[in-house]
Structure 1
Amino acid sequence: MANMFTDDDDALLSELGIEVEKKKQVARTPREERIIAGFEDIQKFVAEHGRLPRHSEDGDIFERLYAVRLQRLRELPEAAALLADLDADGLLSGAEVTPVADDLDDDALLAALGVEVEASPITELKHVRSNAERKEAEDIANRQRCEDFETFQPLFEKVQRELESGQRETRPFELKAEIQKGRLFIVEGQKAYVAEMGEETLTDQGRTDARLRVIFDNGTESRMLMRSLQRALNKDESGRRITDSVAGPLFADAPEEGDSTTGTIYVLRSKSDHPMVSENRDVVHKIGVTTLGVEKRIAGAHLQPTFLMAPVEVVATYELYNINQTRLENLIHRIFGTAKLDIEIPDRFGRPVTAREWFLVPLFVIDEAVQKIKDGTITKFRYDPEQASLVSHP
């Protein structure tokens, strides 16, 4: 007798008289798969927190994203049919979601999460990321209050002063090896200090990783992975590494071996007949830095708005070596920022132009500031217009 059974389960059940219901294999479009995946993220949040996601300014970025997504799904006609079998808890027709601000839509929230948006996700809900990518973003977004921030705040203040004085620089982030305990970075517009670094481990892909304690200058911290910080720095176009402090004087007043960049701080007095200038001529000075000769810099001053469309007199020059022109100018302008004088004058064509780099500062104070720039102590001082002198930082 021939064997009436086969290895096929469906055929076997059929021979036994049991009716088999064939399951339909439903083919989903990529867009439908993304909608379903996005909805499952919302369901997971509800299961973990026992409530719908809310949109609030101080809320977690992912909760805000889920709130936006749920609101969009409720407005999407095809979502009701697509998600009907999955929506056992009635999320699409249940309680209201906290209204979403018009200026914080899905685009803005996705951008804050570092997700590149190619098309409007309001109706398409694109770019649902892998669990690994989401975990890395959570490491950056999910920060908590740094309870001992008072021990780190002086460091951030010192680093800021050293950046302004030129003792530190910022450079593009390049290698994961740059992430070490004690290093400083700029990520998402905030300074980040690697306060602790755990033991290095190997990922499933054979790459090194380690758990970090990263302190941010806004008083928060994150226990993120090294690879998460690396990814955030690489994705942030303005992500930077802050170099170590360079000890000693900021600039030299005599060349040393290897010095090649020579610059000059120049102080000018205008011969303009502008009322503001003529009434305060002895204290109205233009302070600038040039790596060219000063005479070349001021040639044709009477034709340039930056020189008030008038001849100028050179009242002081200070030659320095091994300088960064832009950084030095920024430092000088920060010191005397409280005495900055913006004068609007007509250019050769009669158009109003605001001349900058002019300050209401006595010459002897400028001389004192330059000496403090040379010896590296200028970061401890600021200019007080009322006292017409440099004073220590409070």
Structure 2
Amino acid sequence: MAEMDDDALLEALGVEVAPLKASSRTPREERIIAGFEDILRFHQTHGRAPLHGEGRDIFERLYAVRLDQLRKLPEARALLAELDGPGLLSGAAAADVNGLDEDALLAELGIGDKPADQNDITVLRHVRSSTEKRAAEEIADRTPCADFDKFQPLFEQVERELKAGVRQSRQFGRDSSFKVGNFFVLGGLLVYVAEQGDIFRTGNNEQDARLRVIYSNGTESNLLMRSLQRALYKDENARMLTGTDMGPLFGDALEPDDIETGTIYVLRSLSSHPFVAEHRELIHKIGVTGGNVEARIANAEKDATYLLADVEVVATYKLHNLNRTRLENIFHRLFGAVQLDLTIEDRFGHPVKPREWFLVPLHVIDEAVQRIRDGSITEAVYDPKTAQLAG
């Protein structure tokens, strides 16, 4: 029997040979699809569409603007119909962005000015282009991260720390470090430096090293430190995240919101309100002042902040170079779940809901302050059921 080539063999078996079709999508369509896939991943994780709002993280706000733009594109519905199982494109817009110009959209995202070189309002400016994607893969392609379950809790914790003010995002600069444990934002994704190889010298006598980098979408890269640095420089929205070493909370140099010598004070209310009276030993107000505590509470019975009643000081902690805002954020993150939900009327009969009162035992507050001092508070979680700090 004569030897048959592949085509002849397939024809003899009755298999129709069809030429492979080249992709017919334009680069613009590819960008639209890539941008919508990010939104779908958000929906899969959170069970809802991304929303606008200052209280939401930068990624959700970015996706919300992107989704609004996609809903306005006539071509998007047909292009994304097969992908849009949740019906995100047919939903109501998360916010009215029709009247927003480019500067307003950037303000909504909390991002600085961009060069005004794109005037077409139908251009998806916040969808990563193929070039931007390749910037993070300059040396090595991204591959699925086999042990991503080990890293996912880290990404979730970082998002919580950003919201609580324990971490901050700053513009990427030349002084940024690439040590193991550092986080960045690149192309709309959180990036974690998990491993670093031996440092060596390049032909330009610069230091470089091979890094294992994990991305928040479950992929990873094995790329050079200089390659990651170049990718971050190319991304105008790239950010570096500060660490959780408490920064200026107890620093050596004063910052604008710092108190040179401050006091954390804990108060107990002497109010006759039934709920307060029943739980008096558990309800505490945690505050910060740069002055005299007694002077601050002198007129407590006339101030709704103090439940319109006298208070007693049950604990004070003297601290130096204290950053009031960051400290208050820490207490609210830690004890937010047990914040007192009580509405009273002020002297004019207006309803007031005092803040900074928490249903938490005094010994737990004391432990929290000690952990603020040693820096371990970032790992702590308050369990109301056991009335203990964990982590």
TM-score (norm 2): 0.57
SS at match of 1:176: coil
User: Share of identical aligned residues, percent?
Assistant: 42
State whether residues 251 and 373 of structure 1, in contact with CA within 8 Å, keep that contact through their aligned partners in structure 2: no
Structure 1 residue identity aligned to 2:147: D
State whether residues 213 and 220 of structure 2, in contact with CA within 8 Å, keep that contact through their aligned partners in structure 1: yes
Distance 1:216 1:200 in 2: 27
What do the CA deviations read for 1:24-74 (whole angstroms, capped 9, x no partner)?
xxxxxxxxxxxxxxxx9944689x9xxx9996654899xx99x96997369
Give 1:176's aligned residue. Answer: 174
What do the CA deviations read for 1:122-158 (whole angstroms, capped 9, x no partner)?
4xx59799xx975025546997642232454575578
Give 2:388's aligned residue. Answer: 390
Change (3 A) 1:126 1:172: closer
Distance 2:188 2:34 in 1: 27
State whether residues 262 and 322 of structure 1, in contact with CA within 8 Å, keep that contact through their aligned partners in structure 2: yes
Report the CA distance between 1:365 and its aligned residue: 3.1
Give 1:29's aligned residue. Answer: none
Structure 1 residue identity aligned to 2:315: A
Unmatched runs of 5 consecutive residues or more in structure 1: 1-39, 76-95, 203-207
Give 2:11's aligned residue. Answer: none
State whether residues 259 and 322 of structure 2, in contact with CA within 8 Å, keep that contact through their aligned partners in structure 1: no
Give 2:54's aligned residue. Answer: none
Give 1:146's aligned residue. Answer: 145
Give 1:97's aligned residue. Answer: 79
- Residue 290 in structure 1 maps to residue 289 in structure 2: yes
- Residue 227 in structure 1 maps to residue 230 in structure 2: yes
What do the CA deviations read for 1:153-175 (whole angstroms, capped 9, x no partner)?
57557867988999x75362252
Change (3 A) 1:59 1:172: closer
Distance 1:265 1:242 in 2: 25
Give 2:242's aligned residue. Answer: 242
Structure 2 residue identity aligned to 1:229: L
Change (3 A) 1:44 1:156: closer
Distance 1:138 1:106 in 2: 30
What do the CA deviations read for 1:256-307 (whole angstroms, capped 9, x no partner)?
9xx9832211111112232221222222110122222212432433343322
State whether residues 334 and 381 of structure 2, in contact with CA within 8 Å, keep that contact through their aligned partners in structure 1: yes
SS at match of 2:263: strand
Unmatched runs of 5 consecutive residues or more in structure 2: 1-22, 43-62
Structure 2 residue identity aligned to 1:136: E
1:303-322 alignment to 2 at 5 Å? 303-322=302-321
SS at match of 1:282: coil
SS at match of 1:373: helix
Q: 1:72 aligns with which of 60, 71, 74?
A: 74
Structure 2 residue identity aligned to 1:366: I
State whether residues 263 and 321 of structure 1, in contact with CA within 8 Å, keep that contact through their aligned partners in structure 2: yes
Distance 1:216 1:373 in 2: 30
What do the CA deviations read for 1:332-386 (whole angstroms, capped 9, x no partner)?
3333333221211223433322211111222233233333433444455443333
Structure 1 residue identity aligned to 2:229: M
Distance 2:164 2:75 in 1: 52
State whether residues 303 and 310 of structure 1, in contact with CA within 8 Å, keep that contact through their aligned partners in structure 2: yes
Give 1:362's aligned residue. Answer: 361
Give 1:9's aligned residue. Answer: none
SS at match of 2:266: strand
Change (3 A) 1:160 1:59: closer
Structure 2 residue identity aligned to 1:294: V
Report which of the two structures shows the higher radius of gyration computed on alpha carbons. 1
1:40-79 alignment to 2 at 5 Å? 42-43=25-26, 57-58=39-40, 72=74
Distance 1:326 1:302 in 2: 26
Query: May I ask how many residue pairs the two structures share in their alignment?
Result: 308
Structure 2 residue identity aligned to 1:266: Y
Change (3 A) 1:209 1:307: same
Change (3 A) 1:193 1:382: closer
Distance 1:349 1:231 in 2: 57
1:1-394 alignment to 2 at 5 Å? 42-43=25-26, 57-58=39-40, 72=74, 97-99=79-81, 101-102=89-90, 103=93, 121-122=121-122, 125=123, 134-137=130-133, 139=135, 145-153=144-152, 169-170=167-168, 172-178=170-176, 180-182=178-180, 183-186=182-185, 191-195=190-194, 214-217=213-216, 219-221=218-220, 225-232=228-235, 234-235=236-237, 239-243=239-243, 245=245, 261-379=260-378, 381-387=380-386, 389-393=387-391
The RMSD of aligned alpha carbons is: 5.6
Structure 1 residue identity aligned to 2:233: Q
Change (3 A) 1:120 1:308: farther
